[in-house]
A and B are shown apart, each in its own frame.
Chain A
């Protein structure tokens, strides 16, 4: 049958959906500062839309990558992470039925995670990251900080109006687990679990990109 025609129809239904996606960051720490991290991007809620988009050549002026290209890109990312010192056991999953991607790894210390982020940035950016580390874990003072080096408001202004819609229903969730109970957390939106050993931050992407909320946090563990 005429594939083009099918695409045409899928396209007409495109504007009826708004995008949704979940971004989940989970880090579990051991006492010595080593640990494991899992990053999940879940686009399942938009899977109908994405399945339709995958049939197209381009959308909103962006070229739509094929499954093969997405796979090879993800593999490339995994390979790059594997090459980072202090990072082991890198695994990933890529589910084209539900549109869920995960990448997980074990790390010797959080510096290795910062290194991973630097490896995906330009040299100039890498310098900025050095001064503005995404993760720090001070064993002595028992503090953990989550930060980032982006000027989100500024970056957001650069995006096209129609692209901003992508953020409208997206969410960001982070869960950090420690072996020692948490004493305080600087980010008021973060919730500490009953056992006090886990902390979760759940935000709307929209609030983050307009700087209404932040993913930054400083967590003080009990001595």
Chain B
């Protein structure tokens, strides 16, 4: 018995090692890596699920187009081992950046037979590998793996090393074709140095990468240092496009460092979880800005069970204004080192002029927008009637339109100032005030709905509904405020959409056939969508995009395949 367990365990580790085989062949100094985690994916679906899907059928049709016999019956039988992880990674030198796609092969001959006739003629066979030097991509493979690489030349590098590179130019060669030729040569050099090499410091040995891969994730994205990557990219576009960046040193302009994202298909939801770590200098500023909970006055001001959608933002205005000069100084001081002192003065002046505390009282940084409903409204319009001699007469008719019914809440501790402001508006006839409800005198042709405002409980309310405005003034609301309370208060930003509730408000006869089909699918399977950005925890800000389902299917990946099928029909 022990032996069996040991063997099983051994086999198990072996398959995991197998699945990660390619990871030992990807150098750890790459900048971006996306891995499709086959093991997790095929826990969710079978190969036959892909074959029977519209996408799989399309792939098979494409593969079989030129095959007279030996038709391929499954995407798993096309030479590529789809049960092994596939990787995309981005790496760069100061001169060329490379897009790489690395997959395992399980049948080299089969893979080669799938190539186009034109490509087949270009195959170069070496001892241990074969390759095709294509116009835009370099393909190289052996019995076990296939690597496809596309190279992009850095403009910045070319202008910086113009003189040296000019010497490599052939006589009469155009700039464009010269760059292309050089890029191709360097790409080939790079590919041969990478392909099928086992690296001691591969990503398989990189702790950071291994940590980024979450359990059960179907796909994982890892970016070593987002801020630096952007700085380098801007630089590579050359001073012509981004003169500011070309001048600066190597400065992480956004203060964002490692970024990881994981994609999950669970039974009741599909979600993308993104973690962003912030540099130690920026961390302090970010913490002060984002670590604020939304005031309950706003959260409890709408019926959570009835809202079709809402959007909440909560940040600390006072701290934002205080940190702003610091952030500007750090971002632009780095980009424009020559103007470091000037930037500092701009920052100091800003602090001097702005009264952060006073503004922080006027606008606390809490904002909540709620879509309550869509209401029908009779709208007049002008059209024509003709008499018996076809003389035209202008007539007014009415039609029904759908108008969004929403409430916007803005946190403010300066009620007196706001009230004074509205009084002034009344004096100048921009608003009417009745029962403490402010009505904006908007022209129908400017804004298609009425707008009311109420100032109460340190909140400035703007709403399209007079009833709503009046009930806010009276304060006799009987709202259910439990459902989203934690979600809103625990995150700095939330966007929530009750998908079916919104769709059900739209009159059916206004939809086309495919829209109706998508709607049917939605009401049968979906629940709601949420995007949220967390507050700072340690040096990390997390965000999540989550689509909840009714859980009618085994998992959401299967549901996705089904959706593709129903739309592709």
Q: Which residues of A contact B (CB under 8 A)?
A: 1-2, 5-6, 9-10, 12-13, 16-18, 22, 24, 26, 42, 44-45, 47-48, 51-52, 55, 96-98, 100, 173, 175, 177, 193-195, 197-200
Contacts and interface: CB of A to CB of B under 8 A. Distances in A.
B390 A10 contact: no
Contacts of B541: none
A48 B401 contact: yes
A10 B384 contact: no
A199 B390 CA distance: 7
Given A9-B404, A16-B402, A22 B389 contact: no
Nearest to B404: A13
Interface residues of B, number: 29
Given A5-B369, A26-B392, A48 B448 contact: yes
A181 B408 CA distance: 63
B381 A44 contact: yes
A6 B406 CA distance: 10
Nearest to A52: B448
Contacts, number: 82
Interface in B204-249: none
B389 A17 contact: no
A24 B404 contact: no
Contacts of A24: 384, 392
Interface in B388-433: 388-390, 392, 399, 401-404, 406, 408
15 contacts: A6-B447, A9-B406, A13-B402, A16-B401, A16-B510, A17-B402, A18-B510, A44-B383, A47-B379, A47-B381, A47-B445, A52-B448, A100-B382, A175-B386, A200-B386
B162 interface: no
Most chain-B Cβ atoms within 10 A of its Cβ — which of A17, A26, A44? A44
B371 A12 contact: yes
B399 A45 contact: yes
A54 B313 CA distance: 27
Contact of B384 (A42, A55, A194): A42
B127 interface: no
Contact of A22 (B383, B386, B399, B506): B383
B366 to A, nearest CB: 13
B392 A13 contact: no
A42 B381 CA distance: 10
A55 B447 CA distance: 9
Given A42-B384, A48-B401, A48-B403, 15 more contacts: A1-B462, A6-B447, A16-B402, A16-B506, A16-B510, A44-B382, A51-B447, A55-B447, A96-B445, A97-B444, A97-B445, A100-B382, A197-B389, A198-B389, A200-B386
A10 B443 CA distance: 15
B129 interface: no
B350 interface: no
B382 A17 contact: no
A194 B392 contact: no
Contacts of B406: 9
B449 to A, nearest CB: 9
Most chain-B Cβ atoms within 10 A of its Cβ — which of A13, A52, A193, A200? A13
B448 A10 contact: yes
B446 interface: yes
A193 B390 CA distance: 7
Contacts of B374: 13, 16
A100 B383 CA distance: 10
Nearest to A98: B382
Interface string B447-460: 11000000000000
A24 B391 CA distance: 12
B119 to A, nearest CB: 35
Given A24-B384, A44-B383, A100-B382, A194 B389 contact: yes
A83 to B, nearest CB: 28
A193 B387 CA distance: 9
A12 B309 CA distance: 11
B400 to A, nearest CB: 11
A16 B506 CA distance: 7
B444 to A, nearest CB: 7
Contact of B392 (A6, A44, A45, A175): A175
B445 A193 contact: no
B454 to A, nearest CB: 13
A10 B371 CA distance: 12
